[in-house]
Amino acid sequence: MANRILDVKNLKIDFHTYAGEVKAIRDVSFHLDEGETLAIVGESGSGKSVTTRSIIGLLAKNSQIMGGQILFHGKDLLKISEKEWQQIRGNQIAMIFQDPMTSLDPTMKIGQQIAEPLIKHKGASKKEAWAKALEMMKAVGISNAEERINQYPHQFSGGMRQRIVIAIALICEPEILLADEPTTALDVTVQAEILDLMKDLQKRVKTSIIFITHDLGVVAGMADRVNVMYAGEFLEKGTVDEIFYNPQHPYTWGLINSMPTLTSEKLESIPGTPPDLLDPPKGDPFAPRNKYAMKIDAQMKPPFFKVSETHQAATWLLHPDAPKVTPPDEIVRRWEHYKELQAADKD
């Protein structure tokens, strides 16, 4: 079995707001193995960012961990001091933020910014750190690095800045890289370049990635496993093939169905809005927007039903007594394709 480096168990996080307690993360469990990429997919406000931020100890001041564990090599990160956090951040666990236009210090030379974690964590001299920063700049594909290392962020384009942010995150060769929508602010062609770069560097640095996105299209080429998040909890977990070709939760169906295809004449969407987490729903949180919802969905939270060793979905539709429903055409098409794939695998 692959070496498990991160194990998040029953994580619960609340936010104190003027309106009351927002239950942002409601019993979330997942794990990360060495060298793999886990994608967490969900719409805005589903809690993906909060989940990742808890792994690097950078939650907002008004948040409170209500329970659970974040085990990093068996050590519970929820119990360590700020000093210990500082030794982990940027060193063993690093993070890439969403907007490269604002995540660099506008008045510091980028060489210094890239070198900073190395000086902090590895006790590198300025000269060593500078040399390594130059090496990293070349590794992330910045041409003319010798000259550009002395430049300031405003002299770089968005895509180039995100490469710099990646260089900063990877300079200490972290075990876990948290990427919070790293390509959302970039245009599509640059997106593809950045994703390729991340995959390439992941192999070289041997880091595991938790990739946050709302864009299923990005997930397909990037992730090994996918967790679908909604209203502060996971609704479905599986390998990338299982989620794309054998989805079980109606929310995952909705997500996949709303991706444009070459033949789609009109863009599908999921009607309604996510529930208010000030007062979270009792049953399946997706039930109010779900046209396949049953009575029980509103009354009782569905447990995770096992679809395969690697695939689980929290929907009552998987209960043996549930009626058979027909998902959207696109999903039926994918299911058939999945069966063919499996049959082909057996041969």
Partner 1 sequence: MAKYLLKRIFYMILTLFLVATITFFLMKMMPGSPYANEAKMTATQKAIMNKQYGLDKPVIEQYITYLAGAAHGDFGISFQYSNQPVSSLIGARLGASAQLGLQALVVGIILGIIIGSIAAVNQGTWIDSTATIVSIIGKSVPNFVLAVLLQYYIGLKLGWFPIAGWGEAAQTIMPTIALSVGPLAETARFIRTEMVDTLSSDYVELGKAKGLSRIEVIRKHTLRNSMIPLVTLIGPYAVALMTGSMVIENIFNIPGIGEQFTKSILTNDYPTIMGVSMVYCFGLVVILLLTDIVYSLIDPRIRLTD
Tell me which residues touch partner 1 (CB under 8 A). Answer: 56, 58, 82, 85-91, 94-95, 97, 99, 102-108, 116-117, 120-121, 152, 154, 165, 168-169
Please say which residue, 55 or 226, places its beta carbon nearer to partner 1. 55
Placement of tokens 């659970």 in the chain: 68
Please say which residue, 26 or 89, places its beta carbon nearer to partner 1. 89
Cα 82 to chain center, whole Å? 24
In DSSP terms, 209 is beta-bridged to 37, 177
Q: Which two tokens stand for residue 283?
A: 């049953």
Minimum Å distance from CB 37 to partner 1? Answer: 19
Please say which residue, 103 or 246, places its beta carbon nearer to partner 1. 103
Minimum Å distance from CB 96 to partner 1? Answer: 9
Please say which residue, 102 or 299, places its beta carbon nearer to partner 1. 102
Minimum Å distance from CB 194 to partner 1? Answer: 17
Task: Report yes or no: 13 and 64 within 8 Å, Cβ to Cβ.
Answer: yes
Task: Report yes or no: 151 and 114 within 8 Å, Cβ to Cβ.
Answer: no
Helix (H, G, I), strand (E, B) or coil at 345: helix
Minimum Å distance from CB 172 to partner 1? Answer: 9
Q: Which two tokens stand for residue 344?
A: 């082909």
Please say which residue, 85 or 304, places its beta carbon nearer to partner 1. 85
Contact residues for 255 (Cβ-Cβ < 8 A; gap 6+): 41, 216, 228, 270
Please say which residue, 110 or 243, places its beta carbon nearer to partner 1. 110
Q: What are phi and psi of 77, to 5 degrees?
A: -70, -15
* Rounded Cα–Cα distance for residues 258 and 271 (Å): 11
Minimum Å distance from CB 107 to partner 1? Answer: 6
Helices (H), 89-157: 110-122, 126-139, 145-148
Minimum Å distance from CB 183 to partner 1? Answer: 16
Please say which residue, 166 or 228, places its beta carbon nearer to partner 1. 166
Minimum Å distance from CB 318 to partner 1? Answer: 39
Task: Report yes or no: 166 and 194 within 8 Å, Cβ to Cβ.
Answer: yes
Task: Report yes or no: 27 and 229 within 8 Å, Cβ to Cβ.
Answer: no
Q: Helix axis angle, 158-170 relative to 188-205, nearest 10°?
A: 20
